[in-house]
Structure 1
Amino acid sequence: MNQKKKMQLWQMLAVVILSGVMLVTMFLPVMHIDGDGYAKAVKLIKGTVEKRSQGIYDLNDFGLDQSNLFWNEIEDFEGTEEEIEEINEKIRKYEEESGAVLLNITPGTVMTHSGTALMGIGSGSSSGSGYTMIQVLFWVMYILAVIIIVVAVMGFAFQWMKAVPLALSGIYGVICAVACGIFQFFGPQMLVNASLGGSGAIPDETSSFLSKLIGCFWGWAFLAAFIIGILLAVVSIASLFTGNEQRQGYITNGSGFEPAPPINPDEEWRRREQFERDLQDKARQEQYERERQAQIEREKQEQLEQQRQMQIQRERQKQMAAAMGQVACIKGVASGQAFSLPEDRKVIVGKSQQNANMIINYPHVSNIHCSIRYKAMTNSYIVKDHSSNGTFVNGTRLQKDVPMEFAAGTVLQLADGNNEIRLG
């Protein structure tokens, strides 16, 4: 199937921008007769005179000598900024008085002024004496650039075959590159030959010296146009063979473009159904992934909560163990009995099976002999005596039914001292 090759947006923009820049170069300087150019010329002349003094050159070979070159002025010129600005001021004053255009000679001024008018010795327009070949060339370059911009924009807007605008811009780029390259690299020599009667009219050394002298005042408009012309030609030629685009819905039958046949409805329905199935599968897969991630996150949170509860339980057990006292029988018939005593409980010592929990079956021990509580804040024990034969600490009998506090490590003697209990 053949394709109708139309211009794409980037191709149109490239041609329009490069053609527009080519128009801008018409207003860049091709010559600038100013103080900077004068300084370059003086440097060239002094260098030539220095070579003459060394026997390398003889200025008489160029038809020049120190007397007809205003040597005193040249010899005194040092090229300082003040001297250059003084020369520029003199040229500006001359331009105001004579209507000359010297400081900034552009292709645009050449198009509208004759050579004598540019120097201020003729009329200000070239219409009176006709156009020169260089003026015609500049006008052609200017008008063609405008035409190419218009054709490129219209070709893109109306979907023309891209071969026409791109071929036109490519040819235009080649012409501009060749013409401006000649002017840039051979322009000063051509100007010398045209001014002095053609090639061979003067010695080659003189011609070369004068060409270099004119080059001191040469601008860079032709160089810019030369580069833009090459870019425009390269972009146009490359675009002819790249970026081809087929007009959607059209095929060729050899004599022109006609609408393509309609798409099979069944095939279109199958494609749409498959597309919807693919979307549903993708949505289910995404939902599954979200649920799986949520499940993983829940399990992770549950695991963290279990670890936290286990840590809390361990802390509580440590606290409970730390908050419990110890009561042990260390002497007598119940030796070896021991209790872990939390703060909310008490140990009742006696021989009564019903009322005591530390049972000491001994004749002198009362049914409920004494009671003991633990005080965690001070790690001490509260002992209250309930017996007939007494409870003793270090031989001192405790007052009956009066709670008394003792430090951990205290030993209680019951009755006759044959049974002893250690606190803590």
Structure 2
Amino acid sequence: MTSPVWHPFTQHGLGDPIPLISHAKDAKLYATDGNSWIDAISSWWVTTHGHAHPRIMAAIRDQSEKLDQLIFAGWTHEPAETLAAELVRITPAPLTRVFFSDSGSTSVEVALKMALGYWFNIGEARSRILVLEHSYHGDTIGTMSVGERGVYNRAWQPLLFDVDTIPFPHEGLEQTTLDALEAACLQKPAAFIVEPLILGAGGMLIYPAWVLAEMRAICARHGVLFIADEVMTGWGRTGTRFACDSAGVIPDIVCLSKGLTGGALPLAVTLCIEPIFAAHLSTDRAKTFYHSSSYTANPIACAAANANLEIWRDEPVQQRIDALADAQAAHLSLLSHDRRVQNPRRLGTIAALDIVVADSGYLSNLAPRLIAFYRDRGVLLRPLGNTLYVMPPYCTTPDELAQVWDAIGASLDILGGSPG
């Protein structure tokens, strides 16, 4: 009997095997049949310190015996209060308010609704959203609307709202992007949403910190709210705790999830500046911010997040990030002159390259062949079409990382030819 489970981003008609994982530890996944894999993409970019980190697991166990769930509309609990206070402490001072949700997509939905609610409540007719070309912000209707349109959302096009798209700042074309943003801001849109420094699902496209800083400055000059989607880029992936840090950028709204709990449990937050909260603060109940989910600020998830923040505070996390980033750079450099590879690039702990094929893009036939190749060699990698990236947990050992890159080097041979 086949499993009744319908897996995300999985074409079951291809009949690919789906390993049954029984447990995980640090950077390794273990299956019921005895096989194991190095989790080289941090289980979809969420696992930071490693699977089953003892401090996070202990916090989850402890909290589960105290309070498992609580309605968060008009009620509160200590794990959420502690977490919110610490997030305000470690983020720039203008970010004073923390709204909880349960996934990256919903944190972005909240950000969009905050921005539109702000303008509505202060009596200005601003409702247009600016987006960056090739971006991805989630799979709910609102987040698909502000992301790149393509095969993965074309069935729902009738439901998506219109946006204005700013061209991606490819090398040498940065000023084109900035000029386009300046012109768009003259039309008084509500907000501009970006993935800071690197676009994830859009192909691991990297742009410089100075461009991010200038985009933020343009929005500030025109009074356009600046939303930073740090769902993937946050918690050290780009080399600093948050990607905006390296550009000296303070957003009006920032979205955090994935590594917020160290990858252990689903949780998200949307932080905003005080004027956005103040625009919803009133004795008029009609100005209430009407958004929630049943599991908003789940106490167990908040406890996991607090343990994650304690790890950042007490352990040499930045040193681990720096060491992993250096190791990634060293491995990537060995393939940088291979003629089967284009645009080798790295930002912090994220390394990526494009494999030269005739059918490039998200639906490249190369991707499923590569996934199977790596699976057979004990490595979990999930290419974005012909774009291959490595984003492992910070605890990944040198030997484990070498195994990942050895598999990548061997996989190039399935394309035929020889290295240049």
Pick the TM interval, shorter chain.
under 0.3
TM score, norm. by length of structure 1: 0.20
TM score, norm. by length of structure 2: 0.20
Task: Give 1 or 2: higher helix fraction.
Answer: 1
Query: Which structure has the larger Rg?
Result: 1
